[in-house]
Amino acid sequence: MVRGAMRGGRPIRGGLHRPPFKKTFIPRHPFDLTLVAEVLFPKVSPVIDDSNLTAALLKRNQDLSPTPVEQTSIGNLVTKVQSVLDNLVVAPGDFNTCQLEEVRQVGSFKKGTMISGNNVADIVVILKTLPTKEACEALSKKVESDLKNAMKTEVLTKADQIYTTIHDRGFDVANWQAKVRILIATLPQNLRKLEADIHLDQKLMQAHLAAIRHTRWFEENAHHSSIKVLIRILKDLTRRFDAFAPLSPWMLDLIAHLSIMNNPSRQALPINLAFRRVFQLLSAGLFLPGSAGITDPCEPGHIRVHTAMTLEQQDVCCLTAQTLLRVLAHGGYKHILGLEGNTSIVREMSVWNGVVVSPLEPVYEKPADKKDGEGEEDMEAVENDGVADDDTVE
């Protein structure tokens, strides 16, 4: 007698060996009222008049938009810098410290989502050669020299004087009115050759290349004017509410596009409905562990963009959205937009038409035996917040 199970007519010692059970992670989509409302939740009351909210949103967008003077000043500087860099690509002449492969505009200026008071435009310069620190410094001096030569025939004021500043991403070309940030990158096949002591940081190079992909995707998919209005308003929220600060500009681009374009009709939602939908999605857990979230359309591997946030940041973002959604439901949109009041509504109890809204408390507790960053579920190493002008300035 032989012990054990039979497999294919042959005995196996020790019984049948089963593979250990492994729980499969299946991300879930949060509840989205816009997608299921007409089918499962037909309206039983008249549509709420949202004209006041719409007017407030448009007014806030107008307040946040760059003035004509700002647009002119940044546009003129970008044109001049772009022309100098394009000439270095086509005809570098005696400049051989580095070789330029391509020059691309990225960031909020290129997308049309720039905020007033932040006259910064970004240009990514892709080098054929390795991005050494010396090459970056030499390129900055060359650009400054060519700009000053090109402007010799112009009547310049003090505000038009050009100066450059070196930083870890590349260098800035600026005058008193505007700034163009030159972001250095290199060809993808050169990234593995970079050395920390000699070249610029590899992660920054990857982020700059990602910024090009983000801008290209935005131009192809998110060119609707309502999306740009919503993005500008959301950027302002990240500046005023600390809980939303971890939301990168790329996350804001994607959630604005989702809120406006992802609906049964496939037509752009009105700005007031899209604004409400952003808070509804965040409140329902769009950016929480276990949520399908938003898949990064510019990266392979089905990466969910919110996994760049820590679990604590995800929790605080969700609870703040839930508090603001209740404020919004009772007519407190002016406090949310910053037209009245302040951000204390997410920290202190408030009353709206006799309804008390109390701030929620966090539910995530960091394990006592874990260090910062340990035990973070689904924290993929993804550089999805690489739009540099928004990350470093706004």
Q: What is the pLDDT of residues 220-236, one digit of tens each?
A: 999 899 999 999 999 99
Query: Could you confirm whether domain 225-392 is CATH 3.30.70.20?
Result: no
> Residues with Cβ < 8 Å from 198, sequence gap 6 or more?
130, 132, 133
End-to-end Cα, the chain, rounded Å: 77
For residue 344 the two structure tokens come to 């204390």
Q: Which CATH number is correct for 67-219, 3.40.50.11030, 3.30.70.3270, 3.30.460.10, 3.30.450.40?
A: 3.30.460.10
Q: What's the confidence (pLDDT) of residue 35? A: 84
Q: What's the confidence (pLDDT) of residue 154? A: 73
Q: What's the confidence (pLDDT) of residue 32? A: 85
Task: Sort strands 120-127 and 179-186 into parallel, antiparallel or unpaired.
Answer: parallel
Q: What's the confidence (pLDDT) of residue 6? A: 42
- Domain spans, the chain: 67-219, 225-392
> Residues with Cβ < 8 Å from 286, sequence gap 6 or more?
30, 255, 293, 294, 306
For residue 319 the two structure tokens come to 């609870």
Instruction: Report which of 77, 117, 378 is spatially closest to residue 235, judged by C-alpha positions.
Output: 117
Phi, psi (rounded to 5 degrees) for 105: -80, 140
- DSSP structure string for 159-176: GG--EEEEETTEEEEE-S
CA distance 125 to 29: 38
Q: Which residues of the chain have pLDDT under 50?
A: 1-9, 11-13, 374-394
Q: What's the confidence (pLDDT) of residue 372? A: 52
Q: Could you give the 3-state DSSP secondary structure of residue 24?
A: coil
Q: What's the confidence (pLDDT) of residue 353? A: 86
Q: What's the confidence (pLDDT) of residue 393? A: 38
Amino acid at 220: E
pTM for the full model?
Answer: 0.85
Q: What's the confidence (pLDDT) of residue 236? A: 96
The tens digit of pLDDT for each residue in 239-268 reads: 999 999 999 999 999 999 999 999 888 899
Q: Contact, 160 vs 149, CB < 8 A?
A: no
